[in-house]
Amino acid sequence: METKKIITLEEDSSGIQFPTDIDTKEIVFVNIGPSHPAMHGTLRVLTALDGETIVAAVAEMGYLHRGFEKDCEIHPYQQCIPYTDRLNYLSAIMNNIGFAKAVEKMLGITIPERAKVIRVITAELNRIIDHLVCVGTNLVDIGALTNFWYSFNVREKVYDILEKLCGARLTSNYIRIGGLSRDTYPGFEEEVLDVCDEILEAVGEIERLTEKNRIFLDRTQNVAVISLEDAISYGWTGPTLRACGIDYDLRKVEPYYDYETYDFDVIVGTKGDNFDRIYVRLYEIRESVKIIKQALKRLAPGPIMTDDKRVALPPKIHTYGNIEGLMNHFKIIMHGIQPPLSEVYDYTESSNGELGFHIISDGGQYPYRVKCRPPSFMNYAAFPQLIEGGMIADAIATLGTINIIAGELDR
């Protein structure tokens, strides 16, 4: 049974009237350059100001274009996975899952149950830390500095868990094509349950500080409103689209990895302004915690890697025992994974929206073409429309709500 939660807003807005009868023809150009303190990476906006209001804005990107797609064409499939880590570096495991899922679809292999459940748990943990950074840094831009510490302290605890599991805090490289790279450590379930309680506490504190705060409400309600038709036309998906009033979540509409058997709600906003976008993310953290708790109950012992001979290394007893195991091992290491000659487009619901990979294989060990569909690109394309007519301070606050990660935007 699925229930929708609608955020109720206060109807009262600030009521400040700006003078509209002043005739001025002075336009000043201010460049909010690639190196700026809003902590959101290398984005550049050239604004034309009339007083303090922005009359026209031009956005530029590409300052972090690192050539991910061309690099994938000269590396075997397994070696492309560290490159996908650095796309959305705040939720690295979700990018790994997106890429591995597309290659597994090409090969037609299904991963074992335990691997599916651990993928769901780590994906939801990554979604939580991405939303915490987005909300924390966004509130710093608005001026509410205390929430930054609340969200970052909890993130350090999640990083401890991820470090024990994967080996690295940020760029995890945990997913392999066909399953996972290593199993969980003893004590994993208890630590995840403890950190879930601390996450809920931190979210509660952030909510208590902001939900009735007059300054916060004045700065975010009815600011940078976008209509539902415009949002769909720009290709928005994820929390930014759900804040405009439609309950479109790929985990419910086109489910994968047994998401239809988990019980969670889809958070929907009403107006499509900054307040909705921030609060949709905050409430989604609670839904992710619900999913993690349900998934932990399903964790049963079992294999973590499929035993399909095309992708999985054979157990050592076969590698050293008989000639077929040795040949299998040799072929996978030297010639890599070789999917059949085809094209596939596969997608997952990442923390920003629909993250898709279009992979073309020519039958060899290197992909012929990899294209990543970044959700931040679609969000940023609407940015000039969002800020025109507002003030510069609102522009900086809006930049935080649409959660642009420069690594994913420029690839």
110-149 residues in contact with another protein (CB under 8 A) are 133, 148-149
Give, rounded to a whole angstrom, the gap between the first and last alpha carbons of the chain. Answer: 39
Edge to edge, the sheet with strand 353-361 lists 342-350, 353-361, 367-373
Segment near another protein (CB under 8 A), from 62-70, 179-187, 285-293, 322-330?
Answer: 62-70
Smallest distance from another protein to CB 326, Å = 30
Angstrom distances, CA of residue 335 to CA of 158, 303, 310, 404: 37, 25, 11, 38
Q: Which of 166, 202, 385, 180 is nearest to 299 (CA)?
A: 180
CB of 322 to another protein, least distance (A): 34
| 309 φ/ψ angles, rounded to the nearest 5 degrees | -70, -15
The residues, any chain, with a CB within 8 Å of residue 398's CB and separated by 6 or more, are 223, 224, 274, 383, 386, 387, 390
Which residues, 76 to 95, sit near another protein by CB under 8 A?
Answer: 82-83, 86, 89-90
User: Which residues inside 184-223 make contact with another protein, applying CB under 8 A?
Assistant: none
CB of 29 to another protein, least distance (A): 7
Using CB under 8 A, which residues numbered 150 to 179 contact another protein?
A: 152-153, 155-156, 159, 169-171
Q: Would you count residue 407 as binding another protein (CB under 8 A)?
A: yes
Q: Look at strands 53-60 and 266-268 and give their pairing.
A: unpaired
| Residue 410 within binding range of another protein, rule CB under 8 A | yes
Taking residues 243 to 282 in sequence order and writing x for each that binds another protein by CB under 8 A, - otherwise, the string is ---x-x----xx----------------------------
**63 near another protein (CB under 8 A):** yes
Our finding on whether 315 is near another protein (CB under 8 A) is: no
Under DSSP, the state recorded for 206 is H
Binding segment (CB under 8 A) for another protein, from list 9-17, 177-185, 263-271, 354-362: 354-362
Residue from the set 369, 390, 391, 392 that interacts with another protein by CB under 8 A: 369
